[in-house]
Amino acid sequence: MKIELSKSTLKTLMLPIAMVAGAIFYPWMGHLTFLSPYLIFTMLFITYCKLKISDFKPNRFEVTLLVTQIVLAILAYLLCYFWNRTLAEGVFICFIIPTATAAPVITSMLGGSISKVATYSLLCNAFVAIAGPLMFAAIGEHPEITFLHSFGMILAQVFPLILAPLALALILRYVSPKIHSKIVGMQQLSFYLWAVSLFIVVGSCVAFAIKNWTPESTSTMLLLALGALVACVLQFKLGRVIGGKFGDKVSGGQGLGQKNTVLAVWLALAYLNPIASIAPASYVAWQNIINSWQLMRHQSRLRKSFPESDSSKR
């Protein structure tokens, strides 16, 4: 029996396949993790080519998301602290950590506003760079780390991957409009780069969890993974509710829910009980399951809306 798969069906299956493959081949992820920054940079550069400087206009949408994020982080920490301090630290970082650098890419794939998520990403990352060292000094377990050292390290971890591709895209718009126009037409490439990135990230997450597992830490690690799941679902849901108030559910959900988990793991290891880093490591899996599900639903809706274009590609 011959089975034909359309291009859109293959795209729908690609993300779950990438996640499962990453989990299976996790022992080899150490040889591929160096590619992640380059993949993110390229995805952002392609996506940012669709933006103009005038698109960056912070307003009530971004401020509402940021206030919600801060309030959720504080409440989550206080609610968990007297039960399990490690859980409180892990869940706190899942809420307070800034938006993922790749969030504008997924937002674009889902039909949301790239400019809104890119603007919120810049605002949120700036807040964490400035206020993060103070917050982590207050709740963390390494008071010897100075504010200036923390500030510099967070900047070094975050802003090159956000500002550099943005600056390059904006410069290219004026220096070489023809090349810029061609890159704008290559948006589908971001999807395939994201699938490769997902393969690496999920594999690295599994490797990290296995490396840090001990029989004594099993219950705590399960609690952290469950706490990360609750934090992830809650932020995506609340983000979509807030986004709906401003006419863009997708941007709200991705802005609040999709997190820079690489930075989160680093901050947890630097400031908190190292086992707390299991929470943001688990968040990697949860947010990418949600992203994959959203993209699959989006592809399904597109096929139903344009069935003739899908059948023509078989």
- C-beta atoms surrounding 112 within 10 Å: 22
pLDDT of 228 higher than 90: yes
Reduced to 3 states (helix: H, G, I; strand: E, B; else coil), residue 248 is coil
What is the pLDDT at residue 10? 66
Question: 168 exposed, middle or buried (CB, 10 Å; 0-12, 13-18, 19+)?
Answer: middle
Is residue 242 a contact partner of residue 65, using CB atoms and an 8 Å limit?
yes
Q: Tens digit of pLDDT for each residue in 51-83? A: 777 767 778 999 999 999 999 999 999 999 888
pLDDT of 3 higher than 50: no
pLDDT of 1 higher than 50: no
More confident residue, 59 or 146: 59
Q: Which residue in this structure is represented by tokens 């820079």?
A: 260
In our burial notation (b when 16+ CB lie closer than 10 A, e otherwise), range 62-89 reads bebbbebbbebbeebbeebeeebbbbbb
Residue 277 DSSP symbol: G
More confident residue, 192 or 64: 64
Mean pLDDT, rounded, for 168-186? 88
**E strand or H helix that includes residue 281:** helix 278-305
DSSP string, 92-160: HHHHHSPBPTTHHHHHHHTT--HHHHHHHHHHHHHHHHHHHHHHHHHHSS-TTS-HHHHHHHHHHHHHH
What is the pLDDT at residue 236? 96
Is residue 100 a contact partner of residue 260, using CB atoms and an 8 Å limit?
yes
Phi-psi region of 111 (alpha: psi -120 to 50; beta: other; left: phi over 0): left
Is residue 253 a contact partner of residue 236, using CB atoms and an 8 Å limit?
yes
Mean pLDDT, rounded, for 278-296? 86
Q: What percent of the chain has pLDDT over 90?
A: 20
Give the range with max mean pLDDT: 52-56, 112-116, 190-194. Answer: 112-116
Beta bridge partners of 12: none
What is the pLDDT at residue 195? 80
Q: What is the dihedral of CA 27, 33, 255, 189, to 10 degrees?
A: -110
pLDDT band (50, 70, 90) for residue 103: confident
The architecture of the domain spanning 7-307 is: Up-down Bundle (1.20)
Average pLDDT of the residues of the chain: 80
- Helices within 176-217 (DSSP H only): 177-184, 188-212
Q: What percent of the chain has pLDDT over 70?
A: 82
More confident residue, 80 or 310: 80
Beta bridge partners of 62: none
More confident residue, 94 or 39: 94
pLDDT band (50, 70, 90) for residue 302: confident
pLDDT band (50, 70, 90) for residue 7: low
Q: The pTM is what?
A: 0.76
**Which range has the worst mean pLDDT, 50-59, 132-141, 196-205, 223-232?**
132-141
pLDDT band (50, 70, 90) for residue 241: very high
What is the pLDDT at residue 2? 43
Mean pLDDT, rounded, for 108-115? 86
> Using CA atoms, how far apart are residues 236 and 252, in angstroms rounded to an integer?
8
Phi-psi region of 269 (alpha: psi -120 to 50; beta: other; left: phi over 0): alpha
> Using CA atoms, how far apart are residues 171 and 167, in angstroms rounded to an integer?
6
Is residue 8 a contact partner of residue 314, using CB atoms and an 8 Å limit?
no
pLDDT band (50, 70, 90) for residue 314: very low
pLDDT of 5 higher than 70: no
Q: Which residue in this structure is represented by tokens 């206030």?
A: 67
